[in-house]
Structure 1
Amino acid sequence: MTKPCFIRYANLDDLNQLAPLFNAYRIFYQQESNLQIAHDFLQQRLALNESVILLASNDEGKGLGFIQLYPSFCSIAAARVWVLYDLFVDESARGMGVSRLLMDKARLHAKQTGAVRLDLSTAYDNHHAQALYESLGYQLDQTYRYYSLEI
């Protein structure tokens, strides 16, 4: 990384930095650009304490990327887990180690909150993300098949 990067917990005061990043994340996953939806969704998550958002920024305060974590539980382990649902780094900051710093902070957050693991999923063709996750020790699940039901 050539420039300093700081990772911290985001709050409602960070919505103007977060919303454009979240909008770009949604566009990456073939959603229509809609800054208002991005802003409102994040505002609700933060206001209701329904997620934890880690924000990466440079020394000038520009948002570089984020991770959004959702709390969950594992009944089998009878323990807390965190679902790492969103990870995004702005194109201008890619290749600088921002993703790895965000992932490290997410792991620390999980550990500090007594979680037994972090769960995540990614697209089959997102090879860059898969390489990062595997380099950090994440294991591809070979036991369970995940399903979802559109409502």
Structure 2
Amino acid sequence: MPVIRATAQHLDALAPLFDAYRQFYRQAPDPDGARRFLAERIARGESVILLASGDGGPPTGFTQLYPSFSSVRMRRVWVLNDLFVAPEARRSGVARALMNAARDFAREDGAVSLELATERTNASAQALYDSLGYERDDAYWHYALML
């Protein structure tokens, strides 16, 4: 299954997928905002976005990775922040292909880990992550300060 790194040329296909992803997480539709947000990330080199096409046609899924670092290990960490597959393309291997491409990208970049989080209720995503060898972190509590 073809997986490519998105560029500004892919915004027309990517933005609707990104907006649908946001709506999955209970956000109001904002196609213009989605496009602007992605255009900024790509232009500034602030994220890596991978696109997949299940049948070689238009993209049906994406994942977005953000860079971080491990001070203890003194190496890069990639955060797999977003993963979305269009409903009509689910259960066709798109998510697995995106996850494998993200893993390969992080390895080639010399990262120490590829990390992600998902809602506790997202059983299908958890099953995918488990099947790919991801380990649930029970050693640390993660906190967030919403601003």
TM-score (norm 1): 0.95
1:119-138 to structure 2, matched below 5 A, reads 119-138=115-134
Deviation at 1:117, TM superposition (A): 0.6
Decide which of 19, 32, 47 is 1:23's aligned counterpart.
19
User: Aligned residue for 2:101?
Assistant: 105
Contact 2:63 2:83 survives alignment (8 Å): yes
Decide which of 82, 89, 93 is 2:89's aligned counterpart.
93
The 1-side partners of 2:66 and 2:4 are apart by 16
Q: Which amino acid aligns with 2:14?
A: L
1:65-104 to structure 2, matched below 5 A, reads 65-104=61-100
1:17-45 deviation digits (Å, cap 9, x = unpaired): 00000000000000001101110000000
Decide which of 6, 10, 30 is 1:10's aligned counterpart.
6
The 1-side partners of 2:143 and 2:50 are apart by 27
Give the SS at the match of 2:35.
Answer: helix
Decide which of 21, 34, 43 is 1:38's aligned counterpart.
34
User: Aligned residue for 2:145?
Assistant: 149
Q: Which runs of 5+ in 1 are unaligned?
A: none
Give the SS at the match of 2:63.
Answer: strand
Q: Which runs of 4+ in 1 moved over 2 A?
A: 58-61
Deviation at 1:77, TM superposition (A): 1.1
Give the SS at the match of 2:53.
Answer: strand
Deviates more, 1:52-61 or 1:118-127: 52-61
The 2-side partners of 1:142 and 1:60 are apart by 39
Deviation at 1:61, TM superposition (A): 3.2
How many residues are aligned here? 147
Q: CA RMSD in A?
A: 0.9
